[in-house]
Amino acid sequence: MTGSPYLRIRSIKKSYKGAVALHDIDLDVEQGAFVSLLGPSGCGKSTLLQILAGLLEADGGDVQLGGEDITNLPPWRRNIGLVFQNYALFPHLSIRQNVRFGLDMLGMDRTEAEKRVDESLAMVGLDPALSRKPGELSGGQQQRVAIARAIAIRPRLLLLDEPLSNLDAVLRHKVRLELRELHDRTGITTIMVTHDQAEALATSDRIAVMNGGRILQYEAPEALYRAPATAFIAGFVGSPPANLVPLSALDNNSWTLANGQVWKPIASLAPRAAGVRAGAACIMALRPEALAVGVSGEGGLPGRVVAIEFIGGDRLVHVETGGTQLTVRVSAEQAMAGPDILLFPPQETPLLFDANSGKRLKADF
């Protein structure tokens, strides 16, 4: 694995009628990895996927796959599998004909192609004897056919465009596990586009978080969760994502909250510990599951309970504090005194970001 990576994306640019969709994207993917492009709609993730598939031409930059420059290769010569959100199965062909389509295009011998169709259908857990048309299948089954069709050609790269978005919640959870399993069995390098951070966290080896046509951070899921590079990522990753509390340093020991209220936290969370000078505007990210709730103690953040949601096992407590509404995740058994409570952030180094740039103020550890 030394030298250049399997997929190497360099300075890919794309604009639509003057609006920039992608700014100089660089991304390396190791062979056999499962990588997600995660971001809200309009962040450029689908544009990047289409450029990789060869369906869109980039304005600049280059893409190398397995050492070969594929930037100007037409899609039908790339051998890259593609699965769409709406499955895009050919409605006039039977399921087997759908799966065999790519093999026919390769000019594969008929018996060999039929064998490959059986294998591919079995791989996604479908009965190879299915002779029906795609329209007669459920959404989940159509999805499997689409995946079987894409992997039948033994692609060099598998691209999944929001593959789970059209499925209901229960099925989505099941299929995302299956996607990861399938990836582990086939070893096909996979790139999945998704707007669902839970999906990305659950399936991926690495996640590239995108926003505004840029990759903000490219990390393993744990690292992304533990050490988000920007306030945007902290506020996007996690279920529910971190609370973003705007505050400014009053002096070395205290913060001023959004409504002007002063908060004097424990020493490790004070402006001095983070190296923030008086007057600097910051954002502190507080994970809902890392906040402890109490009624008395040093350094607590005073708040008032606004609403409580029971989510089975846990409760989500919505707390109004210093002009910002926070979500706190507590065990369902925990008794809630209230409505006035104190919130205690964890004692380790805080997730603190510059309010203007959104960048992390102090590196973790």
Nearer to another protein, 88 or 305 (CB): 88
**Closer residue to another protein, CB minimum distance, 41 or 296:** 41
What DSSP string runs through 303-341?
EEEEEEEE-SSEEEEEEEETTEEEEEEEETTS----SEE
**Segment interacting with another protein, rule: CB under 8 A, options 84-92, 176-184, 203-211, 241-249:** 84-92
**Of the candidate residues 55, 258, 281, 306, the single one contacting another protein (CB under 8 A):** 55
Q: How far is the CB of 71 from another protein (least distance, A)?
A: 16
Nearer to another protein, 154 or 272 (CB): 154
Which of 3, 18, 74, 260 touches another protein (CB under 8 A)?
A: 74
96 touches another protein (CB under 8 A): no
Q: Shortest distance, CB of residue 134 to another protein, whole angstroms?
A: 11
Q: Please give the backbone phi and psi of residue 308, each rounded to the nearest 5 degrees, phi first.
A: -130, 130
Residues in the chain, overall count: 365
| Residues 258-297 as x/- pattern, contact with another protein by CB under 8 A | ----------------------------------------
- For 47-189, list the strands marked E by DSSP: 60-65, 68-69, 80-83, 157-161
Of residues 156 and 360, the one with the C-beta less far from another protein:
156
**DSSP-assigned states of every residue in 135-155:** GGS-HHHHHHHHHHHHHHT--
Residue owning tokens 């936290």 = 265
Q: Does 102 bind another protein (CB under 8 A)?
A: yes
Q: Which stretch binds another protein (CB under 8 A): 77-85, 165-173, 265-273, 354-362?
A: 77-85
User: Which region among 41-49, 82-90, 173-181, 335-343 touches another protein (by CB under 8 A)?
Assistant: 82-90
Among positions 86, 239, 252, 259, the unique one binding another protein when judged by CB under 8 A: 86
Q: Closest CB to another protein among 134 and 241?
A: 134
CA dist 354 and 243 (Å) reads 15
How far apart CA 18 and CA 82 sit, in angstroms, is 28
CA dist 282 and 300 (Å) reads: 19
Q: What are phi and psi of 361, to 5 degrees?
A: -85, -35
Q: In the set 53, 171, 274, 316, which binds another protein (CB under 8 A)?
A: 53
* Amino acid at site 343: L
Nearest to 161 by CA among 122, 124, 190: 190
- Which position among 81, 221, 238, 271 is part of the footprint of another protein (CB under 8 A)? 81
Alpha carbons within 13 angstroms on the beta-carbon side of residue 355 total 14
Residue closer to another protein, measured from CB, 66 or 75:
75
> If you ran DSSP here, which 8-state letter would residue 357 be given?
T
| Helix boundaries (H) for 190-316 | 197-203, 221-226, 231-234, 271-274
Binding mask 124-163 for another protein (x = CB under 8 A): -------------------------xx--x-----x----
CB atoms within 10 A of CB 34: 22
Binding of residue 332 to another protein (CB under 8 A)? no
Question: Exactly one of 84, 118, 171, 349 binds another protein (CB under 8 A); which one?
Answer: 84
Q: Which residues bind another protein (CB under 8 A)?
A: 53-55, 74-82, 84, 86, 88, 90-92, 101-102, 105-106, 149-150, 153, 159
